[in-house]
Amino acid sequence: MFKSKNQRDILILIHQKLKYENFYWEVGYYALIIAGIVHFGFLWFFLFLKLYVLAAVNVVSVGIYWYCVFGIGLKTLESKDDGKIGWLVYVELVGHNVIATYYLGAEAGFQYYIYLLAILPFFISTYRMPVYLFRVVLAFVTAVFLDTSEFFHHSRVLSDSILVEWMYRMNVLVASGALVVLLFLYLMKEKRYHNKLLHRTLSQKVCLKDDVCRQSKK
């Protein structure tokens, strides 16, 4: 998929640096790559259905994720300032799924990705509390509005109810699967943290005991 040697080199460097980073950076960068691939798949799916407006939106989305990984990925990882990437992805997810829900209706289930965006900061967030609350509340209110508004309920471009139903099932499955994977990774991260903390505490006790023993011998 990545024909440019420069792009492959960037991916390799990011992967190497992530080995020494915490949970937030690991999940965040791999999520960007996966999101870009998923949007690329949706691009061809919408072209197959002749939904050219949604296909064009996916072109923009793929471009955003490409820019986040290859354009400013290494710089962000080195500076630890993820504000630009964070807002780009946030606006892309909210805007893209509002457009998808407008055309395909809440019956297609694209609003669930915005619910996921509202849940995500409870697992990983590097923003100040006011920004954190603003992002969560805005995403949640937007998702609820899309879910309950009659204006967004039905598809404007598809009359095949079976296809819309299968879209709904697919989106629920993908959104739920992403949440399960995120929860699993979070729990694994917590386990590693507690193991390191326990190992450090035991090591300190052993060192303290050795110092006491040496002093008593003297």
For residue range 65-100, list pLDDT tens digits in order: 999 888 887 777 777 777 788 889 899 999 999 999
The 10s digit of each residue's pLDDT in 121-145 is 666 556 677 888 888 899 999 999 9
Rounded Cα distance between 171 and 167, Å, is: 6
Predicted model pTM: 0.76
Residue numbers of the domain that contains 76: 5-217
> Into how many domains does the chain fold?
1
Contacts of 111 (CB under 8 A, 6+ apart): 97, 101, 143, 146, 147, 152
Report the range out of 125-129, 154-158, 199-203, 210-214 with the highest average pLDDT.
154-158
Rounded Cα distance between 153 and 120, Å, is: 25
